Amino acid sequence: MWYCKAPVRSEERLIPIICYTHQQTFTTDPTPRPLFTPMAPVKKSKSLKSNESLNAKLALAVKSGKYFLGYKSALKQMRSGKAKLILIAGNCPPLRKSEIEYYAMLSKTHVHHFNGTNIALGTAAGKLFRVGVMTVTDQGDSDLLTVAEAGTQ
């Protein structure tokens, strides 16, 4: 909604335009500006590149390896000693996260804190639902364990 008052010509001069939306006063029509200014391409940071490589390795591990989704199955796999890597979403509740880390410490399982929400972890796993915790028991053809260990150190 515009609250700009139109300029009125009186005796060859313009009366100022008062624009209440933009908190500006124009004596003439404002200079036309493009709606979108072209921007230089943004360089990706190392963390974004590592996230992309982790997502690619995760997709390969889902295709060729063995994994479990969910909190309860993660605890079962750690208790049985089959878990090799635990991926925890960034928005996992702190109590649940600390419990998983405790079980992982007891079972000597590597934990990786995924840089993204549970929606992003589910998408990276190729699922259409949210995933808070993902357990990898067999990495298959990918080198997910080495990438995840290098990402946390």
Q: Where are the domains of the chain?
A: 54-152
Predicted pLDDT at 2: 46
Any idea how long the chain is? 153
Predicted pLDDT at 3: 45
User: The pTM is what?
Assistant: 0.67
Helix (H, G, I), strand (E, B) or coil at 26: strand
Among 136, 117, 71, 120, smallest CA distance to 97 is for 71
Q: 54-152 maps to which CATH number?
A: 3.30.1330.30
Per-residue model confidence as pLDDT tens for the chain (153 residues): 444 455 555 454 555 555 666 655 555 545 555 555 565 565 555 666 667 788 888 999 999 999 999 999 999 999 999 999 999 999 999 999 999 999 999 999 999 999 999 999 999 999 999 999 999 999 989 888 888 777 665
Region of residue 5 (phi > 0: left; psi between -120 and 50: alpha; otherwise: beta) = beta
Predicted pLDDT at 110: 94
CA dist 142 and 28 (Å) reads 64
User: Pairing relation of β-strands 110-113 and 85-88?
Assistant: parallel
Structure-block tokens of residue 26:
């124009």
Predicted pLDDT at 1: 43
Predicted pLDDT at 32: 55
Structure-block tokens of residue 16:
């100022």
Among 120, 118, 124, smallest CA distance to 147 is for 124
Predicted pLDDT at 107: 95
